[in-house]
């Protein structure tokens, strides 16, 4: 359903990327009012914003005073998104300053507010900026984590504005949940999600793996970010674009997944094990490509069992941490999953019935969620992001 969106743009070089975000919003049918700061207009001029949005552009509370824009724009909005949000903008928003039209709009808005920061790494990591972010998140503002990559000039690090397509994906989820109360119900929570399928090398050419695409795990990470969480996503052999506002750690094997997960789980409020680790790995790695025998017979491969990462987490997790396991089954899905729920000491387990043309690689999913408290919830087939939101609807109330 079309919405009224305010797109705030503050004064950083990443302002040019907001043009693409504006295009995505308007082409989706939303009415978008762009509110740039004076500094932003040094990077992208007002005629560009007006032409792309079809709406008037102003930066001052003194423009069209009879319409009381410093109050009216925020009051009428269904969503306010600021991209890029500079360190200066974050500081003003955190302290309630209102010295221009954008900061005044942030004070008057009673709709969801989404901020996409972009700045140099040193500015992002400064204690003042981190304190401002914590203050904003504590109020229910959704503050995305910046991406890591090329910054202004030759600098590289954390502070890059996420790609417009991924910011738009978060915007879409926030608007989808616009009537939810509260929208940012994961604000301030630390969420760890694993996704994808591990690969166990047989030789320099081949590996033992599975068909997991990582789409459900990525959907869980993206929707958690849209609900205000700090999200770390551990991705095993996934080729999808990084979700906006999410810290991505890439791994290959089950042991790499295990190590990264155990390291990141320490301060997490909830760990969601959506990845598909290989249950087995070759007992020996061949340094040269394994050749067929002269008589055409296949070589014999010895396998050993990989560690059960979810069970290890269940043994060591603190009482205040929630563990959500996944079970991909081809037969007696619920029965097998109940046994796994107990064995892994998980709080919830999400059951997928998998097979040829089922779940793996598809954009839709249907799951059954079993709880350690004996509960059973069916989530009907839907887009994987809708399934992810349904899972967070079950998880969020269980967080202490």
CB under 8 Å to 353, separation ≥6 — which residues?
A: 329, 330, 333, 359
* Residue spans of beta strands (DSSP E) within the chain: 4-9, 31-36, 79-85, 113-117, 142-143, 147-150, 156-160, 190-196, 200-201, 207-208, 230-236, 246-251, 270-273, 280-282, 303-305, 322-329, 348-353, 364-371, 376-383
Q: Is 306 a catalytic residue?
A: no
Catalytic residue, from 210, 306, 352, 365: name it.
Answer: 210
Residue 205 DSSP label: S
Distance of CA 270 to the CA centre of its chain: 14
What distance in Å separates the CA atoms of residue 325 and residue 283, rounded to the nearest whole number?
27
What distance in Å separates the CA atoms of residue 150 and residue 117, rounded to the nearest whole number?
15
Which SS3 state, helix, strand or coil, does residue 298 take? coil
Please, which residues bridge with residue 263 across strands?
none
What distance in Å separates the CA atoms of residue 308 and residue 288, rounded to the nearest whole number?
29
Q: Which residues are catalytic?
A: 210
């Amino acid at each position: 359903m079309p919405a009224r969106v305010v797109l705030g743009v503050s004064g950083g070089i990443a302002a040019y990327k907001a043009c693409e975000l504006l295009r995505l919003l308007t082409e989706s049918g939303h009415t978008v009012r762009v509110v740039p700061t004076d500094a932003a207009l040094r990077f992208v001029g007002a005629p560009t914003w007006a032409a792309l949005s079809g709406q008037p552009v102003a930066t001052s509370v003194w423009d069209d005073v009879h319409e009381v824009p410093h109050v009216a724009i925020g009051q009428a909005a269904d969503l306010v998104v600021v991209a890029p949000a500079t360190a200066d903008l974050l500081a003003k928003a955190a302290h309630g300053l209102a010295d221009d039209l954008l900061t005044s709009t942030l004070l008057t808005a009673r709709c969801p507010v989404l901020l996409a920061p972009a700045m140099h790494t040193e500015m992002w990591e400064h204690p003042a900026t981190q304190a401002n972010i914590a203050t904003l998140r504590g109020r229910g503002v959704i503050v995305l984590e910046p991406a890591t990559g090329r910054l202004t000039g030759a600098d590289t690090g954390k502070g890059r504005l996420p790609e417009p397509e991924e910011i738009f994906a978060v915007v879409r989820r926030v608007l989808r949940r616009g009537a939810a109360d509260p929208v940012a119900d994961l604000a301030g929570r630390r969420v760890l999600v694993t996704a994808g399928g591990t690969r166990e090398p047989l030789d320099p050419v081949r590996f033992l793996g599975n068909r997991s695409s990582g789409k459900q795990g990525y959907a869980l990470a993206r929707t958690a970010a849209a609900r205000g969480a700090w999200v770390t996503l551990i991705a095993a052999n996934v080729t999808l674009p990084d979700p906006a506002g999410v810290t991505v750690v890439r791994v290959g094997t089950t042991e790499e997944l295990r190590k990264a997960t155990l390291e990141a789980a320490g301060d997490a409020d909830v760990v969601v094990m959506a990845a598909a680790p290989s249950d087995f790995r070759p007992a020996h790695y061949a340094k040269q490509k394994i050749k067929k025998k002269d008589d055409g017979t296949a070589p014999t491969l010895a396998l050993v069992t990989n560690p059960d990462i979810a069970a290890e987490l269940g043994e060591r997790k603190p009482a205040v941490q929630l563990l959500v396991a996944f079970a991909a089954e081809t037969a007696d899905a619920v029965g097998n999953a109940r046994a796994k729920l107990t064995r892994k000491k998980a709080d919830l387990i999400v059951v997928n019935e998998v097979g040829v043309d089922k779940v793996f690689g598809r954009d839709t999913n249907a799951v059954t969620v079993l709880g350690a408290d004996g509960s059973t919830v069916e989530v009907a087939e839907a887009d994987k992001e809708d399934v992810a939101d349904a899972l967070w609807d079950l998880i969020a109330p269980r967080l202490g």
